[in-house]
Amino acid sequence: MADLVPFLDAHVHFWDHDAPNLSWGWLRAGFTQGDRVEEFDIDRPRFTPVELREEAAGLGIAGVIHVQSAEPMPDPSEETAWLAAVAEAQGWPNAIVAACKLRGQDAPEILRRHAAFDRFRGIRDLWLSPRTEADQIAPAMAVAAELGASIEISLPTAAFPMMRGLAEAFPDVTFVLGHGGFPKARDDALFDGWKAAMVELAASPNFVCKISATTGRGNPNWKLAGIRPWVFACIEAFGVDRCMFGSNWPYDQPVATYAGIVGQLRDVAAELSSSEQHALFHRTAERVYGVTVPAK
């Protein structure tokens, strides 16, 4: 539809079981990472831009940002190499957010391996401790700043003061709050505390907010009226120019469809101005990840 604001989906995961040296354990029920145990089995032979384009037809998707997906992964740059080849052949992903354990001694070298691929734009660290101190990750952060790589973190609100401290310690690095900092359970009783924590974190100007997993597994019985307050609290805290929309697809397949996720994001944003919608759907992600999608 020509009148749809182009959507640069800021959070998508791809896989292909035919790809050598890669595995995606989280696709199967029972996979554990930290205190997380996968309850759903969403496995299929592959999910690549070919399959996403089929599901996204007519939804105004102009591009995608891929966020680290292969797990376990002894050398995470192998996933980046595979994604670079996929992008060369299929056009997507437009940018790659790779895996890196910032506290690892090899983190600076891993960042440089990722940066050998021109669609690399940043990393997500799912292994970061809520007690991380700036000096523990300083070598990696120096390289991230040199490369212009963003750092995505998804931790509970109790860790927000630590995250703000990292942002203040490394002001030349863009930090991304993953999945809106949403609690695992989208409980109304948690809303006020989460919202207050979001305002505090947003005081760090180099933090941006990725509004994704809005229909997440912690919110399986989602309704538009229930999603709206959470989305607008992100926008109120960070402003549209520091917020971007993502789908978290197909991780949230057990509780939604891709069309349903994109549709509810468009419905929630419908009351905003055209300029605000463009910021949320593509301009912020374009700026953070250094890509451009066709304008409309």
Give the DSSP letter of residue 5: P
pTM of this prediction? 0.96
Q: Please, are residues 68 and 123 in contact by the beta-carbon 8 Å criterion?
A: yes
How far, in Å, CA of 216 to CA of 248, rounded?
Answer: 8
CA–CA dist 134, 33 (Å, integer): 24
CATH dotted code for 7-289: 3.20.20.140
DSSP string spanning 142-161?
A: HHHHHHT-EEEE---GGGHH
For residue 2, with 0-12 CB atoms within 10 Å meaning exposed, 13-18 middle and 19 or more buried, which class applies? exposed
Q: Considering Cα of 235, then 238, then 239, then 242, what sign does the dihedral take?
A: negative
Tell me the backbone φ, ψ of residue 168, rounded to 5 degrees.
-75, -30
Q: Give the model's pLDDT for residue 37.
A: 84
What is the spatial distance between Cα 150 and Cα 177, in angstroms, rounded to a whole number?
11
Distance CA 237, CA 227 (A): 16
> Which residues have C-beta within 8 Å of that of residue 267, sequence separation ≥ 6?
224
3-state secondary structure of 16: strand
CA distance 187 to 64: 30
DSSP string over 58-106: TTTEEEEEEE---BS-SSTHHHHHHHHHHHHHH---SEEEEE--TTSTT
Can you give the residue ranges of every domain in the chain?
7-289
- List per-residue pLDDT tens for the chain, 296 residues long: 458 999 999 999 999 999 999 999 999 999 987 777 888 899 999 999 999 999 999 999 999 999 999 998 889 999 999 999 999 999 999 999 999 999 999 999 999 999 999 999 999 999 999 999 999 999 999 999 999 999 999 999 999 999 999 999 999 999 999 999 999 888 888 999 999 999 999 999 999 999 999 987 767 777 778 899 999 999 999 999 999 999 999 999 988 999 999 999 999 999 999 999 999 999 999 999 999 988 76
Distance (Å, whole) CA 214 – CA 260: 11
